[in-house]
Amino acid sequence: MSGGRIVWEVARREIVERSRSRALRVTLVLLVLLSAGAAVAGARFTGQTPTDHVALVGARSVALADAIRLEAHAAGRRVKLPRLASDDAARRAVHNGSVDAALLDGRRILVRESRSEEAVRVVQDAVAASGVIARLRATGLTAAQAIGVLTPAGLPVSVLEPRARNYDRNQGMVAVGLFALFMALVFFGQAVAQGVTEEKSSRVVELVLATLSPRRLLAGKVLGIGLLGLVLLLIPGLAALLAGTLAGGAGLPAAAPQTIALIVLWFILGYAFYSVAFAAVGALVSRQEDLNTAMLPVNAVLIGAFYLALAVTNTNPNGTLARVVAFVPPISPLVVPARVVLGDMGALALAATIILEVLATAGLIVVASRTYARSILQIGAPIKLRHAFGRRRPPTVAAPSNSRSAHQRDRTGLALRLGAIGLVVAGAAIGFGNPVGVVVTAIGLLLVAVAVSRGRHT
């Protein structure tokens, strides 16, 4: 049997075994429903001109209708002006939410809760402008001259770096895509590490390696889990694209197909890079309890890349930071999509990042496959990297006993890691523009460093 055939058989085994999981099938269905629902909501309820409903009561209010429409247009809004017969009818309409505000006889505005609503501002500006125009006309000016006095010609504005149309919608779409990409890389990368450690701890790998080489086993496992990950990313993405196209309304942003294609492309490249690192980490330990600590360095790099990508998305996709980190292979998968969709990265720069990512992945495969081959059959305590890379075979050490102190250390380490992740997520939610968010994130990253140091010394 050829080497490619052997790798495919290993990959097919991974696909068949993991696709039997009911949780995986339920997850796929939920992802499709959530993606389609979010796309429909985005198409129907975003990107549209906001509309205010203002009821008019009395002849004076009706006479102000044209002024209110002009003021709403100047504010970038639409306005609907239903006419009501009485103040009581207006109160009922405002109370039940059928109108945002009511203008009573041109003298008083009625709202339900807040005086600061946009509809109130539009009506107030329209009434004030109408009063000024009336006084100007009393001095002998025509209506056109009076309006010209109130609306002088504005100064010309030159934009050095014009943003694309619907930039805000594209920005939100990219942020959602990057979050999905980050979760897919973490989930399926860790699935590779967990699968390697599980086979190693159960001694199944010893039987498998009797018939094929470690490198082919590693390649098949990475390929099989990666194909499942690609399906779980591609199907919801296509469902979102189709649902958003059929939903009507403003539709999805024009950059939606490009964004989905970039997310899929960089999942393939990013997964190839990170999965072999996760596999090597999984081969270094013999117990699932040790795996979380062993994966911390890889997870830390992924988390850091994700937050850098969010910073690029929310600040300046064409800034110096964005231009530099886009060419750093561990960070490229999460930054390049934002640079292409929101920034000015062209085809040549995109091709350069892809080439660098492929070269870095090839180098990492050489290192990781050697680590995997030298460590996969070594049962016992976690293997030091210097032993995995050294010329001598790493020593086999008896597995430590599951004492109460070991369990206590595991629980403490888990709590420390969860607390660190919670603080980092909370800091991102608060925002990096807020000093509190920066401090909370810094504390979380400090706890991550403490957890990593603690794992190395236990």
Kind of pairing, strands 101-104 and 108-111? antiparallel
DSSP, collapsed to helix, strand or coil, labels residue 85 as coil
Query: What are the φ and ψ backbone dihedral angles of 355, each rounded to 5 degrees?
Result: -60, -45
Q: Output the furthest CA–CA distance in the chain (Å, rounded).
A: 102
**pLDDT (tens place) for every residue of the chain, 458 residues total:** 677 788 888 888 888 888 888 888 888 888 889 888 888 877 776 656 678 889 999 888 888 888 888 888 877 788 889 999 898 998 999 888 888 889 988 888 988 887 777 888 888 888 888 888 888 888 888 877 777 777 766 678 877 767 667 777 788 888 888 998 999 999 999 988 888 888 777 767 667 777 777 788 888 888 999 999 999 888 988 888 888 878 765 667 778 888 889 999 999 999 999 998 898 888 888 777 788 888 888 999 999 999 989 888 888 888 888 888 899 999 999 999 999 998 888 889 999 999 999 999 988 888 887 777 777 666 655 555 555 555 454 444 444 444 445 555 566 666 667 777 777 776 666 665 555 565 566 666 766 666 655 554 45
Q: What pLDDT, on the 0 to 100 scale, is given for residue 434?
A: 55
Rg of the chain on CA atoms, in Å: 30
Q: Are 188 and 180 in contact (CB under 8 A)?
A: no
Dig out the tokens for 450 from the structure.
Answer: 């403490």
Q: Are 9 and 215 in contact (CB under 8 A)?
A: no
Dig out the tokens for 342 from the structure.
Answer: 């929101």
Dig out the tokens for 313 from the structure.
Answer: 């998305």
Q: What pLDDT, on the 0 to 100 scale, is given for residue 401?
A: 42
Each domain of the chain, given as residue ranges in start order, spans 52-148, 167-202+235-400, 402-458
Dig out the tokens for 304 from the structure.
Answer: 């850091």
Query: What are the φ and ψ backbone dihedral angles of 393, each rounded to 5 degrees?
Result: -70, 140
DSSP, collapsed to helix, strand or coil, labels residue 197 as helix
Tell the residue number behind the tokens 């969860």, with chain if given: 418
Q: Are 221 and 10 in contact (CB under 8 A)?
A: yes
Tell the residue number behind the tokens 């995109």, with chain if given: 350
Q: What pLDDT, on the 0 to 100 scale, is given for residue 211?
A: 74
Cα(269)–Cα(361) distance, integer angstroms = 8
Cα(234)–Cα(221) distance, integer angstroms = 20
Domain 52-148 falls in which CATH fold?
Answer: D-Maltodextrin-Binding Protein; domain 2 (3.40.190)
Dig out the tokens for 31 from the structure.
Answer: 């992802």
Q: What pLDDT, on the 0 to 100 scale, is given for residue 46?
A: 62
